[in-house]
């Protein structure tokens, strides 16, 4: 089937089945162009919780589709590429988290949404990169187990005196950034604004002008008057930034970094997903019930 026909069929199937296409900012450009909603983890979670659609097709990685299922358990949630995962989410297990909780019985567990549904079920409050600092500040407890990103934990620690016990996980995409390549990029573009994602290592964050979630970057780029932006996050982000701000220039800091899981979803997968209603996210009612509180506290109370 040619590409144009495939796009038309995707649109027809979406309308016929009352499906909504939620797309993360790191997805391939042709998937971003088809999105009903394009966003970061926080924005897409909110939409999943509120949508009237019967089917949610989540173009992102598995933890994002699981989050949508937890927040909308009566909907059919589809992940077009079964193998699209986030290695960082796999770095924390519920069993290891239970052991750490036993060691720090007074601590509150705050989990980054980049975690499995089972880990969320052991969590007090979830957070995303957009609200991690606010969540940590707002919870009543002074001792926090922060799962699974050590770089995001170190970033949050800059804004609070609370004791943060970090999990030793990291994002292999953002952890590749080095202070050396950032310094080289800044020297080559001295007038550019440097914005990075908080999953980057601390010495990279030290050099940044701004630190944002992916949708935070979108908002900032629109409002800021700089002509050139150096961007320290997954390369899919550059497509949206450039498309929405054609008069500005967006450059990757150093070499472009790609998330394999995010890039697995192709037009063919979205088409098949809608046609065959695959691959459906299945979670037990027990896990949904226990994980839901942590996500709802993030969305509604903080
Ligand atoms: P955002 O919530 O900022 O979009 O980040 C998600 C993610 O996976 C970053 O690597
Ligand atoms: Fe996970 Fe990193 Fe990919 Fe985000 S960019 S989905 S944190 S591996």
Name, in order, each residue with C-beta under 8 angstroms of 105's C-beta and a sequence gap of 6 or more: none
- On the question of pLDDT at 302 being above 80, the answer is no
Whole-number pLDDT of residue 98: 98
Query: At residue 88, does pLDDT exceed 80?
Result: yes
pLDDT computed for residue 233 by the predictor: 98
Q: Which of 24, 67, 85, 88 to mutate to test the pocket of ligand 2 (most atoms within 8 A of CB)?
A: 88
Q: What is the pLDDT of residues 9-54, one digit of tens each?
A: 999 999 999 999 999 999 999 999 999 999 999 999 999 999 999 9
Please indicate whether residue 171, judged by its CB atom, sits closer than 6 Å to ligand 1. yes
**Measured in angstroms, how far is the CA atom of residue 88 from the centroid of ligand 2?**
7
**C-alpha to C-alpha distance for 256 and 81, rounded to whole angstroms:** 23
Ligand 2 pocket member 261 (CB < 6 A): yes
pLDDT digits (tens, 9 = 90+) for 271-292: 999 999 999 999 999 999 999 9
233: exposed, middle or buried (Cβ count in 10 Å: 0-12, 13-18, 19+) = buried
In this prediction, residue 300 carries a pLDDT of 78
Centre of ligand 1 to C-alpha 39, Å, is 9
Ligand 2 centroid to Cα of residue 129, in Å, is 12
Contact by Cβ (8 Å): 197, 233: yes
Say if ligand 2 is within 6 A of residue 200 CB. no
Indicate which atom in ligand 1 lies nearest the CA of residue 114. 8
Q: 262 in ligand 2 pocket by Cβ < 6 Å?
A: yes
DSSP codes of every residue in 267-294? HHHHHHHHHHT-SBP---HHHHHHHHHH
Q: What pLDDT, on the 0 to 100 scale, is given for residue 261?
A: 98
Q: Is the dihedral of CA 117, 130, 302, 57 positive or negative?
A: negative
Minimum-distance ligand 2 atom for the alpha carbon of 171? 2
Domains of the chain as residue ranges with CATH = 3-85+262-282 (3.40.50.10800), 89-170+289-300 (3.40.50.10800), 174-252 (3.40.50.10800)
Instruction: Give pLDDT tens digits for 129-153.
Output: 999 999 999 999 999 999 999 999 9
CA of 41 to the centre of ligand 1 (A): 6
Q: Which of 37, 68, 129 should be mutated for ligand 1, with most atoms under 8 A from CB?
A: 129
- Cα 65 to ligand 2 centre (Å): 14
Say if ligand 2 is within 6 A of residue 253 CB: no
Instruction: Report the share of the chain in percent with pLDDT over 90.
Output: 98
Q: pLDDT tens digits for 256-273?
A: 999 999 999 999 999 999
Distance CA 199, CA 129 (A): 8
CA-to-CA dists, residue 31 to 23, 136, 158, 190, angstroms:
7, 34, 36, 34
Average pLDDT, whole number, for the chain? 97
Task: Name the pLDDT band for 294 (thresholds 50, 70, 90).
Answer: very high
pLDDT at 243: 98
Sign of the dihedral defined by the CA atoms of residues 264, 270, 275, 276, in that order: positive
CB of residue 173 inside a 6 A radius of ligand 2: yes
pLDDT at site 301: 65
Peptide bond into 148 cis (omega under 30): yes
């Amino acid at each position: 089937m040619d590409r144009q026909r495939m796009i038309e069929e995707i649109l027809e199937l979406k309308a016929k089945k009352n499906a909504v296409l939620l797309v993360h900012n790191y997805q391939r450009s042709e998937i971003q162009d088809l999105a009903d909603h394009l966003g970061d983890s926080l924005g897409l979670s909110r939409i999943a919780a509120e949508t009237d659609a019967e089917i949610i097709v989540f173009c992102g990685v598995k933890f994002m589709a699981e989050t949508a299922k937890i927040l909308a358990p009566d909907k059919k949630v589809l992940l077009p590429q079964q193998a699209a995962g986030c290695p960082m989410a796999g770095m924390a297990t519920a069993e290891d988290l239970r052991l750490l909780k036993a060691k720090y019985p007074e601590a509150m567990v705050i989990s980054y949404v980049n975690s499995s549904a089972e880990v969320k079920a052991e969590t007090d409050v979830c957070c995303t990169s957009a609200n991690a600092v606010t969540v940590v500040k707002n919870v009543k407890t002074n001792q926090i187990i922060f799962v699974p990103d050590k770089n995001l934990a170190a970033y949050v620690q800059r804004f609070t005196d609370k004791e943060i016990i970090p999990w030793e996980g990291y994002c292999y995409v953002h952890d590749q950034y080095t202070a050396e390549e950032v310094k080289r990029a800044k020297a080559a573009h001295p007038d550019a604004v440097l914005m990075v994602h908080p999953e980057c290592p601390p010495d990279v964050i030290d050099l940044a002008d701004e630190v944002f979630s992916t949708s935070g970057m979108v908002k900032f780029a629109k409002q800021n008057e700089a002509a050139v932006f150096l961007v320290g996050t997954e390369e899919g982000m550059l497509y949206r930034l450039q498309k929405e701000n054609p008069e500005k220039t967006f450059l990757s800091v150093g070499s472009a970094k790609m998330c394999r899981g995010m890039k697995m979803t192709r037009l063919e997968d979205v088409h098949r997903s809608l046609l065959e209603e695959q691959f459906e996210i299945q979670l037990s009612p027990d896990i949904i019930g226990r994980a839901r509180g942590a996500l709802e506290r993030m969305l509604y109370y903080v």
